Chains A and B, each alone.
Chain A
């Protein structure tokens, strides 16, 4: 079989066609846009697309130029490449080029007026002449004049090489000049575009690029791009940048209006900046300033929000900043301060610092382990509040420690808010006889014989230790009993880092050899062991001594703390301690051979201290001051009330008064008030001086009853009483004979003509004398019974009916009302009995 040959010619043609096609595609791509080959030797790329400012941006990032003049050029968006500047007289841009032997300038411009203009200043300037041509100025002569249309945009590319003297000029992709006979001289590093001192007006610049080499014909055509030109910025535009300025991440605030601040920047232009709230665009600024902070003021509802800011450039390239979050709340908690660990019964402070939204925090409470404690609210400044509370840590249920939860509740504008819940680890507080578990000794108790100071053993029939760490409001109790005699009792406690307050009550004895004694104390112990020596007295060396404590009224006083100390080895040592019972007595086992110091103390009474050898079995101690039964406060009290009338009349002024003397008690105060039926209290007066007459003139007006409430205060105890008068309406009775006697009594009480008690007695005596005398004389009424009866009636009338006879006083000073009436009535009664008997 003949092997078929591969058609080599066809294969070669195919490969060449493919390569040609690739080349065509590459060429098309290359000439329609910027290619990396153009980057070689590119030293400046000015696109004249700044939004403002004085900086002419070099898109290649090598060296910016400046806009100079009274005002910068006006951005012309209708230019060839959409961006450009019109320059008026005195305005221009200035650039500085790196030193190079070769240059290529690419400039897009438009010159609308027919005048000579220097588009580029410098050694090889570019001029537009009045004859409508453009050319290159070399050594004072313009070469390569090419006619141009003044109203159109033109792309000028010209190169010059100092070494070869070749100067090439392309106008709109047409070679206008290629010459090496004339060389550009002078400085070519600094240029004004357009030239500043020509007076040229209305020159528009669209782009200006500089290479340090000559461009090839292909590159010129690539740049011309069939009249569309190409722009470095399209090739070099990078994504914009965005930075968040405020607010900070995780902001907590009570202000619902948030100012979002971000700075967008781009190597060309920032077209818009938007703020996103919860992934949704909220506001957009379509005219941001490049590299300048942009702010958005947005009011948001209360809640948790995430946000970011997006920056987009002229190429619709967008960049989002990192997402931040913020919380807007009615209030937020700045801090909650507490000890992470604590102990039972300890005092622990809890603090919370809260910022409100302007509404004041009216109240707060600490909820600890389910129990509410009222917290203190302090407005530190502005909307900042401190909540604080100190509590005694409650007891735990677990054996060693457990977590207790707590939080603050606070009320703002009638609405209660809560802080988060926190935990505090609470450990055991324990006081017990030392053992393997609790081995840090706090208290060691030993015993000695009071007589010979020998160490002895003893039992503790009972003891109670109430202990705590804080204020004592919450405490624990150890009850310890040991009926086996021991020399030492050592008690340990935990925690060892805090002082432990212990209220001790210990009964101790040694069988019948050493009678029981009691030790009571309230002491602070700590891990530095405290040695306590308790003294017992042998049964053969002591006697029982009972102290009966009474007050000044000979009433027994219970609850009196009694202590007995004596000097042992130069030290005052407590040998007896107890509290009087309901019978006012307490009994100690004491040594009668030694002088003891005794102290008797009870709140409200004067402490009594004395020293003697207790040789008797009983003593009575009287404590001064203090209280006694309430009825005793009448002892030695004598008082009087004004007016003495049993009733009053309306619209009359009476002198209401109260006077009190005390011959037994030391008065603290006494006084009275008037009280009306509607509850109105009228202050009458008060004094602390016994025997001071307190008076108040008061018009009864139309009252129906008037109450006089009097009181006296002795030893903190008030004794009260009330005197009531019925007030009669005298509208229809003010002309009666009763009015006469009422006025007469009132006037006499107010010192009528200076008539005192004696005057009254004298007047009444005269009335009795003349009445009885006239009747006896006129009608012969000499019978003693009749005369006595007449006298009784007269006295009765003036004393009881009219009430003008003063009360007679007993030698003790006590006044007895109507005493004269009683006496005269008694005499009359005796005479009647006598008459009947005879």
Chain B
């Protein structure tokens, strides 16, 4: 295995580590999102104001955004090693 191959392997390994850590951290966010949605009654559209609805939508994007962030970091780590 040449030098470039070792670098690629470390990059993939780093990406996996970042991804795993990110996924583990998501669990801490999940409960908070649930609590926030429950407290704001996001599921009951007829009883909350438009501002609350907007806040609910922002909260809804947290987890996807976090996952998207983890993916980006992991993918960035690999792409950086690949000098793409």
Within A710-760, which residues are at the interface with B (CB < 8 Å)? 734-737, 739-740, 743-744, 746-747, 749-750, 752-753
> Residue on B with the closest CB to A751?
B50
- For the complex, is A317 an interface residue (Cβ under 8 Å from B)? no
B46 within 8 A of A: yes
Q: Across the two chains, which residue of chain A brings its CB closest to B66? A: A735
B56: which A residues are within 8 A, CB to CB? 743, 747
| C-alpha gap A749/B42 in the complex (Å) | 14
Q: Nearest Cβ distance between residue B11 and chain A, in whole angstroms? A: 27
Q: Which residues of A contact B33 (CB under 8 A)?
A: 734-735
Known: A743-B53, A743-B60. A653 touches B34 (CB 8 A): no
> With A734-B34, A743-B56 known to touch, is A651 a contact of B64 (CB < 8 Å)?
no
In the assembled complex, the CB of A755 is this many whole angstroms from the nearest CB of chain B, namely 9
Q: Determine which of B34, B44, B45, B57 lies in contact with A740 in the assembled complex, contact meaning CB atoms within 8 Å.
A: B57
Inter-chain contact B46/A697, CB cutoff 8 Å: yes
Q: Does A64 lie at the interface of the complex (its beta carbon under 8 Å from any beta carbon of B)? A: no
Chain B: CB-nearest residue to A753: B50
Interface residues in A673-727 by Cβ distance below 8 A to B read 697
Partner among B34, B43, B63 whose Cβ is within 8 Å of the Cβ of A736: B63
Q: Tell me whether B72 is interfacial, beta carbon within 8 Å.
A: no
A736-B64, A752-B50, A753-B50 known; A653-B45 Cβ under 8 A: yes
Judge if B30 is at the interface, Cβ distance under 8 Å: yes
A750 touches B37 (CB 8 A): no
Residue-wise interface mask of A (750-781) relative to B, using a CB-CB cutoff of 8 A (1 in contact, 0 not): 10110000000000000000000000000000
- Check B43 against A651 for contact (C-beta < 8 Å): yes
A746 contacts across to B, CB distance below 8 A: 45
A752 in contact with B37 (CB, 8 Å): no
Flag if B46 contacts A653 (CB, 8 Å). yes
Residue of A nearest to B42 (CB): A743
- Is B61 located at the chain interface by the 8 A CB criterion? yes
Separation in Å of the A119 CB from the closest CB of chain B? 119
> Which of chain A's residues 626-662 have a Cβ closer than 8 Å to chain B?
651-653, 655
Given A743-B53, A743-B56, A743-B57, A750 and B46 contact (CB-CB distance below 8 Å)? yes
Residues of A within 8 A of B30 (CB): 735
Smallest CB–CB gap between B25 and chain A, Å? Answer: 13
CB-CB < 8 A to B64: which residues of A? 735-737, 740
* CB-based contact B46/A735 at 8 Å: no
Per-residue interface assignment for chain B, residues 12 to 41, with 1 indicating a CB less than 8 Å from any chain A CB and 0 otherwise: 000000000000000001100110010000
Evaluate contact between B57 and A744: CB separation under 8 angstroms.
yes
Partner of B45, one of A736, A739, A749, A753: A749
Q: Across the interface, do A653 and B60 meet the contact criterion of CB distance under 8 Å?
A: no
A653 near B63 (CB under 8 angstroms)? no
How far apart are A649's CB and chain B's nearest CB, in angstroms? 8
The distance from the CB of B19 to the nearest CB of chain A, in whole angstroms, is: 17
Which residues on B sit within 8 Å (CB–CB) of A744? Answer: 57
* B63, A735: Cβ atoms closer than 8 Å: yes
Known: A735-B63, A737-B64, A753-B50. A747 touches B43 (CB 8 A): no
Question: Within 8 Å CB of B44, what residues of A?
Answer: 653
Please, which residues of chain B bring their CB within 8 A of the CB of A697?
Answer: 46
Tell me if A747 and B46 are in contact (CB < 8 A).
no
Are A747 and B37 CB-contacts (below 8 A) given A653-B46, A735-B63, A753-B50? no
Bound-state CA distance A734–B33 (Å) is: 9
Nearest CB of chain B from residue A58's CB, rounded to whole Å? 110
A653–chain B nearest beta-carbon distance, Å: 5
Q: Which of A655, A744, A750, A753 is packed against the most chain B CB atoms within 10 Å?
A: A750
Whether B60 contacts A652 by the Cβ 8 Å rule is: no
Q: Closest B-chain residue to A750, C-beta based?
A: B45
The answer for the CA separation of A644 and B19 in the assembled complex, in Å, is: 38
Given contacts A655-B46, A735-B33, contact A747 B53 (CB under 8 A): yes
B46 CB contacts on chain A under 8 angstroms: 653, 655, 697, 750
| A736–B57 CA distance with the chains assembled, in angstroms | 12
A140-B44 Cα distance, complex, nearest whole Å: 132
Distance to closest chain B CB from A562 (angstroms): 59
**Chain A residues within 8 Å of B50, by CB:** 747, 752-753
Contacts of A736 in B (CB 8 A): 63-64
Write out the residue numbers on chain B whose beta carbons fall within 8 Å of the beta carbon of A749.
45
A655: chain B residues within 8 A (beta carbon): 46
Q: How far is the CA of A538 from the CA of B9 in the complex (A)?
A: 115
By a CB distance below 8 angstroms, the chain B residues around A739 are 60
Q: Are B45 and A734 in contact (CB under 8 A)?
A: no
Identify the closest chain A residue to B41 (Cβ): A653
Give the chain B neighbours of A652 by CB distance below 8 A.
43
| A747 in contact with B60 given A735-B30, A752-B53 (CB within 8 Å) | no
Chain B residue with minimal CB distance to A735? B63
Contacts of A740 in B (CB 8 A): 57, 60-61, 64
Give Cα A737 to B62, complex, Å: 9
B residues less than 8 Å from A752 (CB atoms): 50, 53
- Closest chain-A Cβ to B44's Cβ sits at a distance in Å of 5
In angstroms, how far is the closest chain A Cβ from the Cβ of B39? 14
A746 to B42: give the CA distance in the assembly, Å.
10
In the assembly, what is the distance between CA of A338 and CA of B18, in Å?
102
Contacts of B45 in A (CB 8 A): 653, 743, 746-747, 749-750
Q: A734-B37, A735-B33 are in contact. Are A747 and B63 (CB under 8 A)?
A: no
Q: Which residue of A lies closest to B64 (CB)?
A: A737
Closest CB in chain B relative to A308 CB, distance in Å = 90
Closest to B61 in A: A740
Which residue from chain B places its CB closest to the CB of A747 in the assembled complex?
Answer: B53
Question: Nearest-CB distance from A682 to chain B (Å)?
Answer: 17
Determine which residue in A651, A736, A739, A744 has the highest number of CB atoms from chain B within 10 A of its CB, and name it.
A739
Measured CB to CB, the nearest residue on chain A to B34 is A734
A743 to B42, CA, bound (A): 8
29 A-B pairs with C-beta separation under 8 A: A653-B43, A653-B44, A653-B46, A734-B34, A734-B37, A735-B29, A735-B30, A735-B60, A735-B63, A736-B63, A737-B61, A737-B64, A739-B60, A740-B57, A740-B60, A740-B61, A743-B42, A743-B45, A743-B53, A743-B56, A744-B57, A746-B45, A747-B57, A749-B45, A750-B45, A750-B46, A752-B50, A752-B53, A753-B50
Having A735-B34, A737-B60, A740-B57, one finds 4 other A-B pairs with CB under 8 Å, namely A651-B43, A740-B64, A747-B53, A753-B54
Q: Which 8 A-B pairs have the closest CB atoms?
A: A735-B63, A740-B60, A750-B45, A737-B64, A747-B53, A746-B45, A652-B43, A653-B44
